[in-house]
A = this chain, B = another copy of it.
Amino acid sequence: VARFALGRGEFGLIAAVRRAAGKTRGGWRVGIGDDAAVLRVPAGRDLVSTVDALVEDVHFRFRTTDARSLGGKALAVNLSDLGAMGAVPVGCLLALGVPADVPGEHLDGFLAGLLAQARAARCPLVGGDTVASAIFWASLTAFGLVRRGRALLRSAARPGDRVFVTGTLGASALGLALLESGRGDSPDERPLVRRHRAPRPPFQVGARLARRHDVGAAIDVSDGLVGDLAHVARESGVAIDVAVERVPLPAGASRVAARVGADPLWAALFGGEDYELAFSARRSAPSAAELSRALGVRVAEIGSVRPGRGVRLLRAGKPVQIPGSSWDHFKAPAARAEE
């Protein structure tokens, strides 16, 4: 049964979401059902806000995407941004473009996945706008709170910092490559496909990082590690060296990647959509193993910050050349990493 069927019109959809979203708690004084949402921001907290959009036939196809995962992912990518600022999620707004002929199960699945992710992350949907559109698209705005003045910035890396990353990188790009080759069903492939379809960003780690005094810059790995570290390098006015042999790859990545002619290291460096956290920490910071215990996630030390500009890839301490052709493999536009 289509819980959110559009037959009842735009207002019916909002009313259905309102019922399913449930009563708003926390600092929200007003949620769905007024001209705007109202949040009481606690003393000593800064408000963090971010917006991300997903578009049919650009970021996904309903033919190959499970709508429920897509709804969860639409919010997950925002949670990842909040985590990268060190913020705890508090709520979200949804703008949704919906074709008149959208199958009920696509809309229902999307909203059910979004609301389930919202509950799991304690990030309630507090308002939105649903509009007609020739294609399906969703724009999610998410809000978070961070201790006053303690947001993790891209501009906070300093020469001498060490560079860390959570989890493993490249799984999402390999998962996508598997799907595009008509694979993804074998037991060692499924976890990679899941990372692509239903990323689970370690956004809670961001707030833990923000509490530490030895952490510098942070960013979520969404465009690809090299591209994202290049943002940090630019905003901080520094250069970043990455030891490619230390970049953590998913279990069995080489074996699976070989089946689709992919290189797991390229996937990790340029693939994107990992939604892990990359951060710099001062020289005095503890080891990756100790950070890992303190933060509750796998952490790897992959590089360092020095004066200069841009990102340099090193293998055994020597600069690595990146054949331009490799970039196309995962459809990462070259311009991204150059910035």
A interface with B by C-beta (< 8 Å): 8-9, 11-12, 15, 29-30, 33-41, 43, 45-55, 57-59, 81-82, 84-85, 87, 93-97, 126-129, 131-135, 137, 139, 141, 143-144, 146, 148-149, 151, 153-155, 218-220, 235, 333, 335-336, 339
Contact = CB atoms under 8 A, between A and B. Distances in A.
A110 B219 CA distance: 30
Nearest to A50: B36
Closest 6 CB pairs of A and B: A36-B50, A95-B139, A139-B139, A35-B84, A41-B41, A53-B95
Contacts of A146: 38
B49 A35 contact: no
Contacts of A131: 53-55, 58-59
Given A34-B85, A35-B84, A39-B47, 15 more contacts: A9-B333, A9-B336, A29-B151, A30-B151, A30-B153, A36-B50, A36-B82, A40-B46, A41-B46, A50-B93, A51-B128, A53-B129, A53-B139, A55-B97, A95-B139
Contacts of A335: 8-9, 11-12
B34 A39 contact: no
Nearest to A206: B35
A38 B48 contact: yes
B38 A50 contact: no
Contacts of A35: 50, 81-82, 84-85, 154, 218-220
Nearest to A9: B335
13 contacts: A11-B339, A12-B335, A33-B154, A33-B235, A35-B154, A36-B144, A39-B47, A51-B128, A51-B129, A53-B96, A55-B132, A58-B134, A134-B134
Nearest to A149: B29
Given A33-B235, A137-B137, A153-B34, A51 B84 contact: no
Given A34-B154, A154-B33, A141 B85 contact: no
B127 A51 contact: yes
B336 A127 contact: no
Q: Which of A39, A135, A137 has the most CB of B within 10 A?
A: A137
Contacts of A82: 35-36
A49 B143 CA distance: 10
A49 B33 contact: no
A151 B48 contact: no
A93 B141 contact: yes
A39 B46 contact: yes
Nearest to A339: B11
